Amino acid sequence: MFPELTMLLFVIVPLALGFGVGRLRERRHFASLDRREREFADITVTNLKTGAAPERVRSAALVSGEVVIATDYFKTLAAALRKLIGGEMRSYETLMNRARREALLRMLSEARDIGASEVWNVRLESSNVLSATSNNQAASVEVFAFGTAIVR
């Protein structure tokens, strides 16, 4: 009936929303990540199985953090175009960065709750069960961070 209107509704609006709101939200998230990482800077994080002075540990417990995060419509389209010519996919790199840092921070906040000063043997796992099994093609990623919180 109104092909221009349909086009506007289903392509231009999502693109504009993705570009504008998506970018704003991403910038806010990065700012929040920076702030919280400074807050947790006093907790030593290592992927060593055993950190320093294991004989002087009072208690140890599993801590974990998890996040599922999606990219915006604009970046999904930009990535689809990038696939045609190959090369570095910047838009998805920031997605992975956000997810990993967020998951680590959630793990750290669990560690802080039990009074830990270190987290040993940190592992990061990512999967994309939800995007692999869903009908919509927008990229999303699940990141799970876990480690052993050490209370001295």
Residues that bind other proteins (CB under 8 A): 14, 17-18, 21-22, 25-26, 29, 49-50, 54-62, 64, 66-73, 75-76, 95, 102, 120-121, 123, 125, 127, 129-130, 132-134, 136, 138, 140, 142, 144, 146-148, 150
| Long-range pairs for 21-24: beta carbons < 8 A, 24 or more residues apart | 21/72, 22/71, 22/72, 22/73, 22/74, 22/75, 23/72, 23/74
3-state class of 125 per DSSP?
strand
For 148, the token pair is: 């052993």
Nearer to other proteins, 40 or 92 (CB): 92
d(CA 70, CA 41): 27
Nearer to other proteins, 14 or 109 (CB): 14
d(CA 52, CA 63): 19
Nearer to other proteins, 85 or 95 (CB): 95
Closest C-alpha to 112, from 32, 36, 33, 29: 36
In whole angstroms, the minimum distance from the beta carbon of 28 to other proteins comes to: 9
Nearer to other proteins, 26 or 96 (CB): 26
In whole angstroms, the minimum distance from the beta carbon of 85 to other proteins comes to: 23
In whole angstroms, the minimum distance from the beta carbon of 86 to other proteins comes to: 24
In whole angstroms, the minimum distance from the beta carbon of 67 to other proteins comes to: 6
Sign of the torsion angle spanned by Cα atoms 96, 102, 105, 106: negative
